[in-house]
């Protein structure tokens, strides 16, 4: 029997079957630049808190490093919360959305029932020696809840969906407003708008929402629901009255000195000039002329001590946070991740714009802290959890 020779196999026949690329471990995609920007802002915040509190604490016979030490402790806790946030896939948090939403509502109700009132706002719950501000924590649970709901519609945001979103949003909004935490309520409103736009809400629905917002604001203002001191805080930057006096000064001492706060804030910023007075120098900061300088008005400490150059550096760090958050929203593997990033972005951008603008007198005094910088544990933990959600989305974009 004659032997036959088989023709040589074609290159295509012997070529290896292509394999699906193996996704690299999630930790390889951690956004180091975003984390570094957050760490830089936190470090500057600790330094500015020390610069604004050391003199008054020493004058009162207390440890001048007390507030700085507390903020450092908060920073450690906040970074621990960040690590926990990136440990699990953000999809798991989305599955917990109903529990997170209900839990946040219960926390807000508890705050109204047993919360501590300071400067007119009932926003803090005492847990042992620790004070927690639930209105801050609700910001991240609100973002997760909205992302879960809107992503489940897969871009098909109908009028009914918008109505459902509004119904779910109005509950935490009203409870926070009832605490006199007007600034936090404003942040939730901005987050809501940003996430609805990103989810694909139709233009006509957004117009209806805008009309409803205008009507609601007018109604609240005219019916007396908005208190006089809150009106003063919102319109002082426009009218700049001399010697603002409110009808509720006894229970709201902060409201009686709005104009003074703004005058001292502007003076501190102007005093810094181009390069600033130098660390631990400057009359506005050292003599505590600016009220609440370690919290709402901490930007003035940066501006007076480091001037325009230092302020520009600070805003550049915030710019990095904005850039990396937007990038994470673009590379996200799904709509839910995109919505989470956009919610965080809207929250942080509005707070920075409102807080810095407030110190310059171009935005209303709304009691909104400067992210990563202002003194306080709840706000710092929430800022780092928010960054953790963005890093989480970026880490798992290929999985």
Cβ atoms of 119 and 161 closer than 8 Å: no
Q: Collect all residues with Cβ–Cβ distance below 8 Å to 122 and sequence separation of at least 6.
A: 111, 112, 115, 116, 179, 180
pLDDT at residue 28, rounded to an integer? 81
Q: How does DSSP assign 170-193, residue by residue?
A: HHHHHHHHHTT-HHHHHHHHHHHH
Distance CA(154)–CA(334), nearest Å, equals: 10
Q: How far apart are CA 133 and CA 276, in angstroms?
A: 34
* Residue 222 pLDDT > 70: no
Are 271 and 237 in contact by the 8 Å Cβ rule? The answer is: no
**pLDDT surpasses 80 at 8:** no
CA–CA dist 304, 314 (Å, integer): 13
Euclidean distance between CA atoms 127 and 330, whole angstroms: 39
Q: Which parts of the chain fold into alpha helices (H)?
A: 11-14, 32-59, 66-87, 90-95, 97-114, 134-151, 159-178, 182-198, 203-222, 228-239, 258-272, 283-286, 298-331, 335-360, 377-395
pLDDT over 60 at 13, yes or no: no
DSSP 124: E
In degrees and rounded to multiples of 5, residue 117 shows phi and psi of -100, 125
> What is the per-residue pLDDT across 375-386, written as a single tens digit (0 to 9) for each?
999 999 999 999
| Tokens describing residue 302 | 């940066």
The pLDDT tens digits for 60-77 are: 889 999 999 999 999 999
C-alpha 381: how far from its chain's center?
Answer: 10
Query: How does pLDDT run across 158-212, given as a tens digit for each residue?
Result: 889 999 999 999 999 989 988 878 888 899 999 999 999 999 888 888 888 888 8
The residue extents of the domains of the chain are 40-234+245-395
Cα dist. 265→90, 180, 300, 356, 357 in Å? Answer: 40, 23, 6, 10, 11
Q: Compute the distance between CA of residue 230 and CA of residue 238 in angstroms, rounded to an integer.
A: 14
Asked if the model's pLDDT at residue 251 lies above 50, the reply is no
Q: Residue 1: pLDDT above 70?
A: no
pLDDT digits (tens, 9 = 90+) for 16-72: 444 544 456 777 889 999 999 999 999 999 999 999 999 999 988 899 999 999 999
SS3 130: strand
Strand order in the sheet with 116-118: 116-118, 121-127, 130-132
Scored b (16 or more CB within 10 A) or e, 31-49 reads beebbebbbbbbebbbbbb
């Amino acid at each position: 029997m004659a032997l036959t020779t088989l023709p040589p196999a074609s290159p295509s026949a012997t070529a290896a079957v292509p394999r699906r690329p193996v996704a690299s471990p999630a930790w390889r995609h951690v956004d180091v630049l975003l984390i570094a920007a957050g760490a830089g802002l936190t470090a500057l915040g600790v330094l500015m808190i020390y610069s604004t509190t050391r003199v008054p604490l020493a004058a009162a016979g207390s440890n001048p490093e007390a507030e700085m030490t507390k903020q450092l402790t908060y920073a450690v806790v906040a970074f621990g919360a960040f690590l926990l946030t990136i440990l699990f896939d953000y999809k798991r948090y989305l599955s917990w959305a109903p529990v997170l939403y209900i839990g946040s509502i219960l926390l807000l109700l508890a705050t109204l029932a047993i919360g501590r009132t300071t400067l007119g706002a009932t926003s803090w719950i005492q847990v042992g020696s620790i004070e927690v501000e639930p209105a801050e924590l609700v910001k991240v649970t609100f973002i997760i809840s909205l992302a879960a709901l809107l992503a489940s519609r897969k871009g098909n945001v109908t009028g009914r969906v918008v109505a459902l979103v509004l119904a779910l949003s109005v509950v935490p909004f009203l409870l926070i407003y009832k605490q006199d935490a007007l600034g936090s309520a404003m942040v939730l409103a901005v987050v809501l708008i940003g996430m609805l736009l990103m989810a694909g809400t139709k233009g006509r629905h957004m117009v209806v929402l805008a009309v409803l917002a205008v009507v609601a604001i007018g109604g609240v203002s005219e019916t007396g629901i908005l208190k006089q001191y809150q009106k003063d805080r919102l319109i002082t930057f426009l009218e700049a009255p001399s010697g603002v006096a409110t009808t509720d000064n006894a229970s709201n001492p902060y409201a009686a000195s709005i104009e003074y706060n703004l005058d001292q804030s502007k003076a501190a910023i102007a005093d810094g000039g181009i390069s600033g007075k130098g660390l631990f120098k400057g009359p506005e900061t050292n003599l505590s002329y600016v009220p609440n300088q370690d919290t709402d008005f901490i930007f003035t400490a940066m501006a007076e001590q480091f001037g325009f150059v230092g302020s520009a550096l600070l805003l550049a760090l915030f710019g990095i946070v904005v850039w990396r958050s937007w990038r994470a929203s673009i590379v996200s593997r799904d709509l839910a991740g995109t919505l989470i990033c956009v919610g965080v972005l809207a929250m942080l951008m509005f707070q920075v714009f409102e807080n810095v603008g407030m110190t310059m007198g171009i935005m209303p005094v709304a009691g909104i802290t400067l992210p990563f910088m202002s003194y306080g544990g709840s706000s710092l933990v929430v800022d780092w959890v928010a960054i953790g959600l963005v890093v989480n989305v970026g880490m798992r974009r290929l999985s």
